[in-house]
Amino acid sequence: MPIWLLGAFVVVGLIAIWVAMRFYGYDKPLTLDEDAARREFMADNPGLEPDDIRMAKTGQAALVRANGNLHVLWVMGQDVATHVLDAPQIIPTNSGLVLTLRDFAAPRVKLELAPDEASTWTALIEKT
Give tens-digit pLDDT for 98-124.
999 887 877 889 998 988 898 899 888
* The pLDDT value given to residue 15: 96
**Are residues 65 and 81 located together in one domain of the fold?**
yes
Q: How many CB atoms lie within 10 A of CB 81?
A: 14
Domain count, the chain: 2
Over the chain, what is the mean pLDDT?
A: 90
Cβ burial, residue 57 (10 Å; 0-12/13-18/19+):
exposed
Range of the domain at 91: 34-127
User: What single-letter amino acid sits at 80?
Assistant: V
**Are residues 57 and 106 located together in one domain of the fold?**
yes
Rounded to two decimals, what is the model's pTM? 0.77
Q: How many CB atoms lie within 10 A of CB 48?
A: 15
**Are residues 38 and 24 located together in one domain of the fold?**
no
pLDDT band at 30 (very low <50, low <70, confident <90, very high): confident
**Are residues 121 and 71 located together in one domain of the fold?**
yes
